[in-house]
Amino acid sequence: MQKFNVPTPLGLYIHLPWCVRKCPYCDFNSHELRNALPETAYVDALIQDFEEHLPAIWGRRISTIFFGGGTPSLFSPAAIERILTEINARSAFHADIEITMEANPGTLDESRFTGFRQAGINRVSLGVQSLQDEKLKTLGRIHNREYALRAVDMLKKAGFDNFNLDFMHGLPNQSIDDALSDLREAIACEPTHLSWYQLTIEPNTFFHHHPPALPAEEVLWEIQEQGKALLTDAGFMQYEVSAYAKNNRVCAHNVNYWEFGDYLGIGAGAHSKLTHTDKQIMTRHWQVKNPRDYLHPDKKFVAEEKAISEHEAVFEFMLNALRLTHGVPLTLFAERTGLTLDSIQPQLKLAYEKKLLIDNPNILCPSELGHRFLNDLVAMFLGHAD
Ligand SMILES: C[S@@+](CC[C@H](N)C(=O)[O-])C[C@H]1O[C@@H](n2cnc3c(N)ncnc32)[C@H](O)[C@@H]1O
Ligand code: SF4
C-alpha cells in the first residue's frame, strides 16, 4: 500500500511538434512543416488540453514550464504569450518559476528573442549541436556555425542570462580534437548550462537505415574523459549523465523528472506522471501522438492512461534518480514512490555489497563503478517491491 505524505513538485511540459526539416538522427515526436504552421488551432488545443487536466492538479502550484519540441521557436512570441497567460489564468505559478523554451538557431532573429522574453520565457535552450559547418551539414541541420554564434549573441542581447546550449559528440568522423574544440567554443559562449549528448542511433531514423561512420569506442571514451575534464576545469559541474551547470544553475524542470517529481504534459504525444493524494495512487498518461489527430475536432487528447504499479514505481524512481551524479537523499524514495525503504532492502544491500552505491546511509548515489555500470545497477531494482 502506497502512502504519499509529502507534496510532490509539479512541472508542466508543453510539446510543440513541428520543425523546418527532420534531422536524420532524431526520433522525437517532431514533424517536418510542409504547410503553414497551424498556430492558432494548436494553441487553442493546448489550452483545452490543459483545462481538461485541471482537476488532476487542482490547488497545486506549477514550479517549472518547459516548451519542448520539435522547434518551439517556430511559434510566434504572441502565441507563446497567449499560452502562458491562459495557463496562468487557470493555475498558480511558483514565484521563482523557471520557464524554458527550446530554440533552434535557424529560426531566430533578435526581435523574436526579445518577444519570447517579454512573453515570460526566462531560460532558453539552444540546439547548437556543433560549431563545425561540416558536422552541422552531416547532421542535416538548417543552421551553420555563423547562425549559431549569432543566435547566442542575440539571446544575450535580449537579456537572457540563463541559457543552455545543446551539443552532441561522437559525431560521424569526429576526432577527439573536433569534439574538444566544439566544447571549448561552447564554453567561450558563456552559457550557464551545457547539455552534452553522445549521438545515439535510434530506430526509425534516417541514420538507422543509413548508418554513418561513427568514431571507434576508444575515441568515444577519450572524448568523454577529456571533455568532462575540460568542462570541470571551466567551472561546469556535472550533475547528470549529459548535463553540466555553472554556479549550480541546473535545469530545474529536468531535475524534477530525475527526482521523480510530477509533471503534466500537454501537446501532441506529451507524457504525464501524476500523484493523486486523494486516491493514494500515481498514474501515467500520454496524449495522441500525431499532430493531425491532436488537432482533430472529435479527438480525445489522452491516448492511454494507466496506474503506476508499486514495481514500476521502484524501477522508475531508480531509473531517474540514479542518473543524478550526486544522487538524492534516501528519504526521497519514500516521498516519491509512497513505499517504505524496507520494500527495497534486499536490492539495496546487494548494491552496497557490489560497491555500486556509495556507502552513505543518507544518500542514494551511484559510486564511480555504479555510474560506469548504471544499467546493471538500475536493473537490480526491476520487478522488486513487496
Ligand atoms: C528535443 S531535441 C530539441 C531541440 C531542438 N529541436 C533542436 O534540435 O535544436 C533536444 C536535444 O536532444 C539532442 N538529441 C536529439 N537526438 C539525439 C540523438 N539521437 N542522440 C543524441 N542526442 C540527441 C540534441 O542535442 C537536441 O538539441
Ligand atoms: S530540429 Fe530538433 S526536434 Fe527537430 S528534427 Fe532536428 S533534432 Fe529533432
> What is the distance in A from the centroid of ligand 1 to the CA of 26?
7
Q: Is there a domain that residue 332 lies in? A: yes
Q: How far is the CA of 127 from the centre of ligand 1 (A)?
A: 7
- Average of pLDDT values for 15-20? 97
**Is the pLDDT reported for residue 344 higher than 60?**
yes
> Looking at the domain assignment, is residue 213 inside a domain?
yes
Query: Ligand 2, from 28, 139, 205: best to mutate by most atoms within 8 Å of Cβ?
Result: 28
In this prediction, residue 226 carries a pLDDT of 98
Is 289 a domain residue?
no
Instruction: Check whether residue 43 and residue 161 sit in a common domain.
Output: yes
Cβ(72) to ligand 1 under 6 A? no
Residue with cell 492558432: 40
Question: What pLDDT is attached to residue 2?
Answer: 84
Q: Let me know whether 248 and 329 are in one domain.
A: no
The answer, yes or no, to whether residue 5 has pLDDT greater than 90, is no
Nearest CA, atom 9, ligand 1: 127
Residue 178 belongs to what domain range?
10-256
Task: Choose the residue to mutate in 166, 209, 223, 253 for probing ligand 1, maximizing ligand atoms within 8 Å of C-beta.
Answer: 166
Kindly identify the ligand whose nearest atom is closest to the C-alpha of 141.
2
Distance 276 CA to ligand 1 centre (A): 32
The pLDDT of 59-88, averaged and rounded, is 97
Q: Give 1's pLDDT tier (boundaries 50, 70, 90).
A: confident
The answer on 346 and 232 residing in a single domain is no
Pocket lining: 182 vs ligand 1, CB cutoff 6 Å: no
Residue type, 228: K
Number of domains in the chain: 2
C-alpha cell at 338: 509512497
Same domain, 251 and 335: no
310 Cα–ligand 1 center, Å: 32
Q: Is the pLDDT of residue 325 over 80?
A: yes
Is 280 domain-assigned? Answer: no
| Residue 334 included in any domain | yes
Mean pLDDT of the 372-380 span: 96
Q: Are residues 217 and 140 in the same domain?
A: yes
35 and 158 belong to one structural domain: yes
Of the candidate ranges 25-39, 102-116, 242-256, the one whose mean pLDDT is the lowest:
102-116
**What is the model's pLDDT at position 333?**
97
Pair (245, 140) in one structural domain: yes
284 CA → ligand 1 middle, Å = 24
Task: Give the position, in ligand 1's atom list, of the atom nearest the Cα of 72.
Answer: 6
pLDDT at 257 over 70: yes
Q: Determine if the peptide bond prior to 170 is cis (ω within 30°).
A: no
Report pLDDT for 386. Answer: 45
In a domain, 131, yes or no: yes
Domain end marker among 256, 271, 302: 256
Per-residue pLDDT at 110: 84
**Domain C-terminal end among 208, 231, 256:** 256
Q: 371 and 321 in contact (C-beta within 8 Å)?
A: no
Distance 357 CA to ligand 2 centre (A): 36
Task: State which of 208, 233, 256 marks the end of a domain.
Answer: 256
Predicted local confidence at residue 385, as pLDDT? 46
- What is d(CA 236, CA 255) in angstroms, rounded to the nearest whole number? 16
Among all ligands shown, which has an atom nearest to the Cα of 182? 1
Does 168 sit in the ligand 1 pocket, CB within 6 Å? yes
Q: What is the mean pLDDT of residues 16-26?
A: 97
Identify the pLDDT of residue 161: 96
Task: Quote the pLDDT of residue 6.
Answer: 86
Judging by DSSP bridges, how do beta strands 123-129 and 236-240 pair with one another? unpaired
Q: Whose CA is nearest to atom 4 of ligand 1?
A: 127
Judged against a pLDDT cut of 60, whether residue 124 lies above it is answered with yes
Rounded mean pLDDT of 169-183? 98
Asked if the model's pLDDT at residue 378 lies above 80, the reply is yes
Do 164 and 79 share a domain, yes or no?
Answer: yes
pLDDT tens-digit readout, 277-315? 999 999 999 999 999 999 999 989 999 999 999 999 999
Report whether pLDDT(332) > 50.
Answer: yes
Q: Say if ligand 1 is within 6 A of residue 280 CB.
A: no
Q: Give the pLDDT band (50/70/90) at residue 130.
A: very high
> How far is the C-alpha of 8 from the C-alpha of 127, rounded, in Å?
30
Ligand nearest to the CA of 202: 1
Calculate the CA 107 to chain-centre distance. 21
| Predicted confidence (pLDDT) at residue 108 exceeds the cutoff of 80 | no
Ligand 2 pocket mutation, candidates 16, 21, 30, criterion most atoms within 8 A of CB:
30
CATH number, position 189? 3.20.20.70
Of 18, 21, 23, the one to substitute when testing ligand 2's pocket (max ligand atoms within 8 A of C-beta) is: 23
Start-to-end Cα distance in the chain: 9
User: Nearest residue CA, atom 6 of ligand 2?
Assistant: 23
Kindly state the cell numbers that stand for 135.
Answer: 558536422
Domain co-membership, 335 together with 251? no
331 and 239 both lie in a single domain: no
**Dist. CA 224–CA 65, nearest whole Å:** 30
Which residues have CB under 6 Å of ligand 2?
A: 19, 22-23, 26, 28, 30, 69-71, 104, 127
Find the 143 Cα to ligand 2 centroid distance in Å.
12
Query: Band of the pLDDT at 106, cuts 50, 70, 90?
Result: confident
Decide: 269 in ligand 1 pocket, CB within 6 A: no
Q: Which residues, at least 6 apart from 370, have a Cβ–Cβ distance to it below 8 Å?
A: 322, 351, 355, 356, 357, 358, 377
Burial class for 112, CB neighbours closer than 10 Å (0-12, 13-18, 19+):
buried
